[in-house]
Amino acid sequence: MTPKETIDNLLAGMGKFGASDLHIKVGYSPYYRVAGHLRQVELARIDSTEYMEDMFRALVPEARREEYARHGDLDFSLKGASGDRFRINVYRATGEMHAAIRRVQSEIPSFESLQLPATYEKTIGNTHAGLVLISGVTGSGKSSTMAALLEHINATRSTHIITVEDPVEYVFKPKKSIISQREIGIDIPNYSEALRFVVRQDPDVILIGEMRDRETMLAAIQSAETGHLVMGSIHCSDATQTFARILEFFDRGDHDFIRSSLSSSLAAIMCQRLLPGIDEGTRVPATEVLLNNATVRDKIRRSEDEDLPAIIAQSVEDGMRSFTYSLAELIENEKIYYDVAMEYAPSREALASSVKGIKTSTQGLVGRVRGK
C-alpha cells in the first residue's frame, strides 16, 4: 500500500469506526481513539520516517512546510473526501515525525446533539456583549460547543462574525449573519496579529479558537469591554481554575486591573467534561456554568474566587450549574452510571447526598435525585 493510500484509508476509517482521534507514530501501528479509549488499528506498523513523511507530504499546506521544518510542530486543517474536516498536528519526537489527528464532523452540531443543558442556548441568546469562555481539558468538546453557540447566533441575529482559529475546524455558511473565518498560518501569522486589527473590521462577534497567552487574553478582554461579544476556549477544569489561569498570563502587579476588567466584561464561563455514557461507545457532557451577576462581580474584584463554587451551587434557578448538580442530573436521566459519576465528582460526599437509589455499571438500580 502506498503512503497516500495508507493515510486516505486511515482518515476514512475514522468516520467508519466513530473515532474522534487518530495517532500515528513511527515504530507503531496507528491507533484510533473511540469513546475515549485507544484502539490499535489492524495495520502494519509505520516502520520508517521516510514512509511517514511521504504520507503527509500532500496533506501539509505547501506554504507551511518550512514552518514545520523550523519549529518541529505544525497545526493545520484538512477536508476529507467524506466531507468531514480533520484538525491535524504533526510534530517531531526523537527526530521522527508523529501525528495526532482530530476528526471534526462536517455538520455543525446543535445543542441537542451535544446534549448540552438549556442554559447554554438561553445564555448565548441573551448575551450580545461581553466575554464568554468555554473551559475544559483537552478532548472535552470545547470546539463543538463553540460551534453550536456560534451557529445559534448565525441563525438568529444579523451580525458580522469574525473567527480566528488554529486551525479552522467547522466551516460556517452564512444565514442571518455574515462570517469571516481566519486561519493562523494561512490568513494571519498568529493570534496577537489577528486581534490587533480585528476591531477595525467592524465585528459584532469575535470567536478566538484558544486563549493561550497574555496578548490574546488582553485583546479578548478589551474587545469585550468595548461592546463586542467575544467567545474563546481555555484549558481549565472548572470556573475557579479558569480565573487562576487567566491571572497566570499577567504579572502580579496587573492582577487588580485584570480583575476589575473581568468583573465588568465577563458574561459567562461554561466548563465541561466528557464522561462515558451508559450506552456503549457514547460520551456525555457534565457541565458547570458561572454567569456574571452583581455578587459574582464583587467576588471577582475582591479576589474571593474561593466563594464562586458556593454561588454557583445556590444559583441553579438563575441558570448556573455546578458539576455536582450536573452529575446528579445525568444519573437521574440514566445517561451515566453512579460509579462513573463518582469517579469525576468534585466532592463524592456532595454527590452522594444528592442522589438516592443508584444505577451502577454492575447493578440495576435506577438513580433518583433528591428534591426532584
> Residue 367 above 70 pLDDT?
no
- Assign 360 a pLDDT band (cuts: 50, 70, 90): low
> Residue 22 above 80 pLDDT?
yes
> Residue 365 above 60 pLDDT?
no
Residue whose C-alpha is closest to residue 102's, from 88, 82, 112: 88
Output the average pLDDT for the chain. Answer: 91
Q: Is 116 exposed, middle or buried (0-12, 13-18, 19+ CB in 10 A)?
A: buried
Looking at domain 3-104, its CATH architecture is 2-Layer Sandwich (3.30)
Classify the C-alpha dihedral 199-205-145-367 as positive or negative: positive
Give the mean model confidence (pLDDT) for residues 7-18: 91
Give residue for cell 458561572.
290
- Assign 357 a pLDDT band (cuts: 50, 70, 90): low
What pLDDT, on the 0 to 100 scale, is given for residue 370? 40
Cell of 289: 456554568
Contact 152, 124 (CB under 8 A): yes
Taking the C-alpha atoms of residue 62 and residue 46, their distance in angstroms, rounded to an integer, is 23
Give the CATH class of 118-321.
alpha beta
Give the mean model confidence (pLDDT) for residues 140-162: 97
Supply the DSSP string of 286-345, one letter for each residue.
EEEEEE--HHHHHHHHTT-GGGHHHHHHT-GGGT-B-HHHHHHHHHHTTSS-HHHHHHH-
What pLDDT, on the 0 to 100 scale, is given for residue 147? 97
What pLDDT, on the 0 to 100 scale, is given for residue 78? 87
How do beta strands 37-40 and 96-104 pair? unpaired
- Go through 328-342 and write b for each residue having 16 or more CB atoms within 10 A of its CB, e for each that does not: bbbbbeebbbbebbb
Give the mean model confidence (pLDDT) for residues 230-254: 96
What pLDDT, on the 0 to 100 scale, is given for residue 184? 87
The 10s digit of each residue's pLDDT in 50-60 is 999 999 988 88
Number of H helices, E strands in the chain: 14, 15
What pLDDT, on the 0 to 100 scale, is given for residue 244? 94
The 10s digit of each residue's pLDDT in 253-297 is 999 999 999 999 999 999 999 999 998 888 999 999 999 999 999
Contact 176, 206 (CB under 8 A): no
What pLDDT, on the 0 to 100 scale, is given for residue 88? 92
What pLDDT, on the 0 to 100 scale, is given for residue 356? 65
Give the mean model confidence (pLDDT) for residues 141-149: 96
Amino acid (one-letter) located at 83: G
Residue whose C-alpha is closest to residue 91's, from 60, 119, 117: 60
Residue whose C-alpha is closest to residue 279's, from 360, 326, 334: 334
Least confident of 63-72, 302-311, 333-342: 63-72
More confident residue, 68 or 152: 152
Taking the C-alpha atoms of residue 74 and residue 44, their distance in angstroms, rounded to an integer, is 26
Instruction: Catalogue the E-assigned strands of the chain.
Output: 21-25, 31-34, 37-40, 73-79, 85-93, 96-104, 130-135, 160-165, 178-183, 205-208, 229-234, 266-276, 283-291, 355-356, 368-369
How do beta strands 368-369 and 355-356 pair? antiparallel
> Residue 77 above 90 pLDDT?
no
Q: What residues are paired with 34 via a beta bridge?
A: 37
Going across the sheet that includes 205-208, the strands are 178-183, 160-165, 205-208, 229-234, 130-135, 266-276, 283-291
What pLDDT, on the 0 to 100 scale, is given for residue 372? 41
In eight-state DSSP terms, residue 1 is -
- Phi and psi dihedrals of 350, rounded to 5? -65, -40
Cell of 199: 476591531
| Distance (Å) of CA 302 to CA 66, 269, 298 | 48, 18, 6
Taking the C-alpha atoms of residue 367 and residue 91, their distance in angstroms, rounded to an integer, is 45
Global confidence as pTM:
0.82
List the domain boundaries for the chain.
Answer: 3-104, 118-321, 332-372
Angle of helix 214-225 versus helix 255-265 axis, rounded to 10 = 40
Classify the C-alpha dihedral 14-235-239-133 as positive or negative: negative
What pLDDT, on the 0 to 100 scale, is given for residue 364? 44
Taking the C-alpha atoms of residue 167 and residue 89, their distance in angstroms, rounded to an integer, is 10
The two domains 3-104 and 118-321 share their CATH topology (first three levels equal): no
In eight-state DSSP terms, residue 171 is P
